Amino acid sequence: MRSLMTAATGMQAQQLNVEVISNNLANMNTTGFKRQRAEFQDLLYQNVQQMGVSSSDAGTIVPTGIQVGLGVQTASIYRITEQGSLANTGNPFDLAINGDGYFRIQMPNGNDAYTRAGSFAVSPEGEIVTADGYTVAPGIVIPQGARSVAINEQGQVQALIDGQTDPQTVGQLELSTFNNDAGLEAIGNNLFLESAASGAAATGTPSSPGYGYVMQGFVEASNVNAVTEITSLIQAQRAYEMNARVITASDEMMSATSNLR
């Protein structure tokens, strides 16, 4: 019976749906996390009777035909990149992007990665780095003896040095944007890599046209909505149960057939 395999594909699809939802919920408090959504599409159809074929010598045609669907498959897992809420931390090296853009991170292998998680710190050498110690491009060093550090909306980093009355500009942060943010490749640790789907990175200054601005002392929270995710979880669970019922019903029908005398 086709219904056995059709319902099995439905159960597999809803299992994947639950896995995506569980990952969203697990990262509710992950800085800069962007929720994902599983998207599905129907499988091929088996043509028992082709629509549009002639049904008689009088020229009549079959208006609809008979097509039997064979189930569902995963089309994609789409990342929703809408802005998360901004949380005030008071830490001078916590930075949030209000608007479009990603911080560019220099990886140990020399490649560039990108992140919205601006929970930064200062290395022993005075360089602004991520929680894993990766350099925040273009590589800004805070001078030794700096009493305070200010980062304005345009990404200029200024430090007030002991013995000086005027702050000194020590660097300029950059942001990168992509034509298709959803096409970035996630590698964990709040980092993304450029891919053929995302397009090449366009680098610019914060607050310039097409780029967001930087907010010092803030971090961007996850954009996961707990109520929406729980609702989706219940729907996925019910869909899984209904597909399981189809398998049970198909099995009972086959059992009845095999017990015919």
106 shares its domain with 196: yes
Angstrom distance (rounded) from CA 202 to CA 260: 70
Determine the average pLDDT of the residues in 225-248: 96
Angle at 216 between CA 149 and CA 165, to 5 degrees: 25
Which residues are CB-neighbours of 55 under 8 A, at least 6 positions away?
61, 62
Give dist(CA 239, CA 242) in Å, integer: 5
Cα first-last separation, the chain:
20
**pLDDT, averaged across the chain:** 92
Domain count, the chain: 2
**Looking at the structure, do residues 65 and 99 belong to the same domain, yes or no?**
no
Q: Do 89 and 218 contact (CB within 8 A), yes or no?
A: yes
Backbone angles phi, psi at 90, to 5 degrees: 80, -5
Question: Exposed/middle/buried for 215, CB within 10 Å: 0-12, 13-18, 19+?
Answer: buried
- 248 band by pLDDT with thresholds 50, 70 and 90: very high
Check whether residue 145 and residue 242 sit in a common domain.
no
| 206 and 233 both lie in a single domain | no
Structure confidence at residue 34 as a pLDDT band (50, 70, 90):
very high
**Range(s) of the domain holding residue 110:** 86-220
- 160-192: per-residue pLDDT in tens? 987 777 889 999 999 999 999 999 999 999 999
**Are both 148 and 65 inside the same structural domain?**
no
pLDDT for residue 45: 87
